Amino acid sequence: AGFAAMKLPPAVVCLLLILVFFDAARVEARGTPSAQGARNQWSSMFVFGDDFVDNGNRPNITGEKTSRQWSYPYGSYLNSHYSTSPVLTGRFSNYRMQSDFIARMLGLHEAPPAYELTEDQSCDSSGMTFASGGAGVFKVKTKKVPTLAAQVQTFKRLVKDGVISTHQLHHSIALIAISGNDYMSDSDIETGFYTSFDDLDTYVGNVATEILDNVAQLQMLGVRKVIVNNLHPIGCTPLHTSSNNYTTCDLLGNYGASVHNKYLKQMLEERDNVHILDLYTAFTDIINHAPGGGSAESKNFKGKLTPCCESTYKGGYCGERSNSGKRLYDLCDTPDRMFYWDQTHPTHAGWEAVMKALQQPLMEFLDEDYVA
């Protein structure tokens, strides 16, 4: 049943409406060494979370919206004059995404291979990606995707079985990207509230606590350093800005993200060997800054709240085609000038700008001595 079918006090209804506005967060090859990397030479990376970092774990089911990342123009659409055939990798972007850029900071070529695309009883020297598009910390009723805890349990099993060695763990970092799926209208709200609809703070606190618990699990298993995304300004995604012709962000959605980030900071900032990646500020400085403000990267984007790839009809999706093969989406010519690729995910250029802004504090964290 939806929220409308439940008899709740008016104050609670107002708070729950914020969760509905969070619906905009529908965020749903082997690494090779290079000459650059952190001083401590972290050689392995394990990636958990959702579609911000999923590089192939969601299955390719023909004709389903959740499989759009396996269809053109996802993959390697760099511009309208790019002649090479696109390489479909299961990434929710037109080329690279967040985990790829972090991997390159470590001296790797790209994010570690997806778990579902890896042969049994093997783990690449660069690590492994367990993230799955559409995942959150709680179950999503309409999607069969592993929660963050389920992803960590899979990782734990591989450690227990010796597929991931102690030596590899001692030279590894983990990335956790939870980007708002727990606040979607089809998330398992009742589980999130533990059968009690108290208020927004309770629910968001539960989400943050679950992230904390999984950080602790990874550290207990031997991962040396853990990087955790905070929540980006959800109200600035094209899914929200489309209602006003892509001109302004939704303040309520951004407020909800700030509440999530407040709890995450309170729970994680004093924990050793953990670093919060401030996506909220990095995104905002590029796409939603005050006139005359913003980061140096902001001027490189002509489209900040508009998607490069957009359905031609309401309810459709980027990459969709009719039964006859007709394209049911519009595609921009220059995705390198657009921040958002589709309704919720940044372009390659967008991620590059965000991670450039976050690189210095991240590298300083990785270069710090491990606290035993």
Per the model's pLDDT, the better-predicted residue between 321 and 39 turns out to be 321
pLDDT in tens, 101-149: 999 999 999 999 999 999 878 999 999 999 999 999 998 766 689 999 9
Q: Which segment of 55-59, 77-81, 253-257 scores lowest on mean pLDDT?
A: 77-81
Highest mean pLDDT among 214-218, 255-259, 290-294, 367-371: 214-218
Tokens of 61: 């089911």
Contact 148, 136 (CB under 8 A): yes
Per the model's pLDDT, the better-predicted residue between 187 and 48 turns out to be 48
Question: Quick one: pLDDT at residue 136?
Answer: 95
pLDDT in tens, 289-306: 888 888 989 999 998 999
- Chain centroid offset of residue 138 CA: 15
Q: Provide mean pLDDT across the span 151-173.
A: 96
Other CB atoms within 10 Å distance of the CB of residue 31: 23
> For residue 52, is pLDDT > 60?
yes
Tokens of 193: 């509230």
Question: Quick one: pLDDT at residue 38?
Answer: 53
Q: Provide mean pLDDT across the span 163-178.
A: 96
> For residue 230, is pLDDT > 80?
yes
Could you give the angle at which helices 348-367 and 279-287 cross, rounded to 10 degrees?
Answer: 140
Phi, psi at 55, each rounded to 5°: -115, 35
Q: What is the pTM of this model?
A: 0.88
DSSP string of 161-191, one letter each residue: TTSS-HHHHTTEEEEEE--SGGGSTTB-HHH
Q: Provide mean pLDDT across the span 319-348.
A: 95
Separation between Cα atoms, residue 130 and residue 56, nearest integer Å: 9
User: Closest by alpha carbon to 20, among 203, 278, 287?
Assistant: 203
Let me know the angle formed at the C-alpha of 49 by 45 and 51, rounded to the nearest 5 degrees. 105
> For residue 64, is pLDDT > 70?
no
Question: Quick one: pLDDT at residue 232?
Answer: 97
Contact 343, 271 (CB under 8 A): no
pLDDT, the chain, mean: 85
Tokens of 121: 């009883």
Q: Provide mean pLDDT across the span 141-159.
A: 91
> For residue 234, is pLDDT > 50?
yes
Separation between Cα atoms, residue 183 and residue 204, nearest integer Å: 9
- The position carrying tokens 């914020």 is 18
Let me know the angle formed at the C-alpha of 286 by 280 and 291, rounded to the nearest 5 degrees. 110
**Which domains, ranges and CATH numbers included, belong to the chain?**
40-187+197-367 (3.40.50.1110)
Question: Quick one: pLDDT at residue 169?
Answer: 96
Question: Quick one: pLDDT at residue 25?
Answer: 44
Separation between Cα atoms, residue 149 and residue 27, nearest integer Å: 17
